[in-house]
Amino acid sequence: MVSNYRGSELAREFEMTFVQTHADGSRAKKLAVAGRALLQAVGLAVRRPPDMIHVHVGDFPSLYRKAAVIVPLLMRRTKSILHFHGANFLAEYAELPPGRRRFVQWFLRQFDVVLCLSESWRRDLSMEFGLSEAVVLPNAVSIPGLRAKGRASPDVPLELLFMGLIGERKGVFDLLDAMETACRRGVEIRLAIGGNGDVERLKARLAASPALAARVRYLGWIEGEERERAFLSAHAYVLPSRAEGMPMSVLEAMSYGLPIVSCPVGGIPELVDDRSAILVQPGDKERLADAICQLATDETSRQARAQAAADRVRTHFDLHGHNARLASVYRALHSR
């Protein structure tokens, strides 16, 4: 979401300084980026204190990185907003030793406002940490001018797309098992996978199954025009996650007019409805196969869900509306 703020109406109304605390790459690169962020934050605290700070955190260790960087500003009692994006935050918090849990409790209570991606996250975080002010602000996307291609006929193989971290949490291996089941039922489907993570396990799984090897393409980590082409070439988007916040990839897929197959975890039930998506329980591979087969064999239903997905994201999750709501939070906090 942060990249969407640059050059937006928010950046025109509020003078913003962006501090990057993390980058992919070697350990040396990560340390260099974190060190530069700390120096930048200390410089701001000493020479040009901001009116407020807006901190984006995922799961651990994201919180620790941000804490190390912004404590100098928190110590000045700078007005502050914490924006949660993590999917496993509460589960990871429960596994922390007592000392670290106390630190997390202290850290969260330093913020004037906590932004949550969904009502379920707002409720759970408020109950766990006794937050004074927690506000729901869903993710949003810029609506593209193009729509995903339709199927020329029901005889054309259904093109599925998955994007995300390759591993257990996002459910990609459940998806591969469901693909095999659908293939045994005689349904013509293809799957494109974009992302990083446990790539070697993915490649081994494909190599062990001739059915999957013939139908699944691994795209690697893709972005920009290549990512756009992947959405435009798909007929449906599948993300059978076991834990989530509010996945941007689902919003992106909906904005291109793709029906969704996913799971009722995190903010996903607030992101989609039964007109735009088919939700199955995490790990239910048989039901996941049923959902894929339904989209492959009922083109009228697939097209209706595609239109409903595009309409829903345009109505509820457009980036301009998100920025307007965030601007209201900024103004209210600044006026205190």
Distance CA 53, CA 58 (A): 17
Q: What pLDDT, on the 0 to 100 scale, is given for residue 39?
A: 84
Per CATH, the number for 158-316 is 3.40.50.2000
Each residue's pLDDT expressed in tens, for the chain with a length of 336 residues:
677 787 788 888 988 888 888 877 788 888 888 788 778 777 777 788 889 999 998 878 888 888 888 877 777 788 999 999 888 888 899 999 999 999 999 999 889 999 999 999 999 999 999 988 999 999 999 888 777 777 656 678 999 999 999 999 999 999 999 999 999 999 999 999 999 999 999 999 999 999 999 999 999 999 999 999 999 999 999 999 999 988 999 999 999 999 999 999 989 999 999 999 999 999 999 999 999 999 999 999 999 999 999 999 999 999 999 999 999 999 999 998
Q: Where are the domains of the chain?
A: 2-140+318-334, 158-316
Q: What pLDDT, on the 0 to 100 scale, is given for residue 153?
A: 66
- DSSP single-letter state for residue 166: B
Please choose, from the candidates 268, 267, 299, 16, the residue with its C-alpha nearest in 3D space to the C-alpha of residue 154. 299
CATH architecture, domain defined by 2-140+318-334 = 3-Layer(aba) Sandwich (3.40)
Q: Taking each helix axis from N to C terminus, what angle separates 248-255 and 299-316, rounded to the nearest 10 degrees? A: 110
Q: What pLDDT, on the 0 to 100 scale, is given for residue 35?
A: 82
Q: What pLDDT, on the 0 to 100 scale, is given for residue 23?
A: 74
Q: Give, for 317, the enclosing helix (H) or strand (E).
A: none
Half-sphere exposure of 308 (CA within 13 A, CB side): 17
Q: Which CB contacts under 8 angstroms, 24+ apart, belong to 206-209?
A: 206/176, 209/176, 209/180
Q: What pLDDT, on the 0 to 100 scale, is given for residue 265?
A: 93
Two domains, one topology: 2-140+318-334 and 158-316: yes
Q: What pLDDT, on the 0 to 100 scale, is given for residue 6?
A: 78
Q: What pLDDT, on the 0 to 100 scale, is given for residue 1?
A: 66
Distance CA 336, CA 331 (A): 9
What amino acid is encoded at 59 in this protein? D
